[in-house]
Amino acid sequence: MTARGFDATTSSPFFFEEEHHMLRAQVRRFVEEEIKPHADAWEETGATPRALLRKMGDLGFFGITYPAQYGGSEMDERGTVVLAEELGRCTYAGVAITVLVHTDMASVHIFNAGTETQKQTYLPRMITGELISAVGVTEPDAGSDVKGIRTTARRDGDHYVLNGAKTFITNGVLGDVFCIAAKTDPNGPPSQSVTMFIVEKGMEGFTVSRSLKKHGWNSSDTAELAFVDVRVPVENVLGQEGRGFYEIMKNFQNERLVLGAMAMGEAQAALEMTVRYVKDRKAFGAPLWEKQVIRNRLAELTTRVEAGRQMIYATAARAAAGEDLVREVSMIKSYCGELVNEVMYACVQFHGGMGFMRESPIERMARDARVQAIGGGATEVMLEEVAKRM
């Protein structure tokens, strides 16, 4: 399909403007020329190269929603959704998540809660790709349960002394700037005791304790981080002390919308790939496409993916208009995270034995998709968020 096919312009004309269609075409062209021909090697090395990230920064992909004064393009959530969906379509979800953590899950903490000095210090270089960011919330006992954070930060004069650990941190090995959540009031109410800090690579006592091997997303680097008496200057506090819980919750909404869009990009690419395969693959004297049960299942999944995409587009447009959409975003994260896995299961099945081979893209895509129902808010947690608002 061309960049101006059904999912670029003729689909959802009410939600997007010409700048969004241009962005979609540009990202899709970049994926075809700069990612797909090379990403198999990145799967083996376990990381997306910095050279690629700098190219993306130079093209403006890292500053889509940020103000022009920092080097951004001043677009809204609709632009973010376009970027996430097209990166999901690249079929290498590890590359996609490397980018999206930087653009929409980590650097946003500095933009949303940072002082003007912090923004001027970090955002321009994040937007160009000179600095790559990560966010450290997850711990063995604290993922979606942010109130369970155990990493501590104790005030000592003009510094805070940080101690603890984070795990499952995307961009944790190769990142430069980390937005780290720590408990600053051990005896305070859980929702008022967490603070966010800007921690830079190289600070004494801050180390990558190990690089993690994963079931999927193998072209993204993932780490456990350790903090042993790390002295973080007071001016590196992000937002107000004790307000970190609320900042994390606020940014979760953007993260979950982005992950939903990425998941639907993955699902759409898998379906298109599988339709091509079953139209070519012959069994029992005819292409598999001639089997009604296969056609109907692919048609059903395509319908559901389109429904998910349209909800994402509508929610992005409403968010851009200033609405608070925790309910809808939680629906998107739960629905799309489960649906992309259902799509991948069917697509592997219809590829037959080839779908189980490492040489087949659908095998990699199925592994990559599994975490979409876990990371950024597990399905069960998201459904509870919906239930609270029923």
Provide the annotated active-site residues: 255
Phi, psi at 322, each rounded to 5°: 100, 10
CB 156 within 8 A of CB 113: no
Residue 380: partners with Cβ closer than 8 Å, 6 or more residues away: none
SS3 143: coil
Query: Rounded to an integer, what distance in angstroms lies between the CA atom of residue 364 and that of residue 217?
Result: 9
CA distance 341 to 299: 16
With beta carbons less than 8 A apart as the criterion, state whether 4 and 25 touch.
yes
Angstrom distance (rounded) from CA 203 to CA 176: 11
Asked whether 329 and 312 are in contact (CB, 8 A), the reply is: no
Gyration radius (Cα) of the chain, Å: 21
- Of 118, 111, 211, give the one whose Cα is nearest residue 169: 211
Q: Do 177 and 145 form a contact (C-beta atoms < 8 A)? A: no
- The beta strand positions in the chain, using DSSP E, are 133-136, 152-156, 159-170, 177-183, 194-200, 206-211, 222-233, 237-238, 282-283, 286-287
Q: Which two tokens stand for residue 278?
A: 């079953």
Q: Are 169 and 224 in contact (CB under 8 A)?
A: yes
Rounded to an integer, what distance in angstroms lies between the CA atom of residue 100 and that of residue 87? 9
The C-alpha torsion from 41 through 37 and 223 to 231, rounded to 10°, is 120
* Cβ-contact 81, 127 below 8 angstroms: no
Block residue for tokens 């099945």: 349
CB atoms within 10 A of CB 302: 16
| Phi, psi for residue 297 in degrees, rounded to 5 | -65, -40
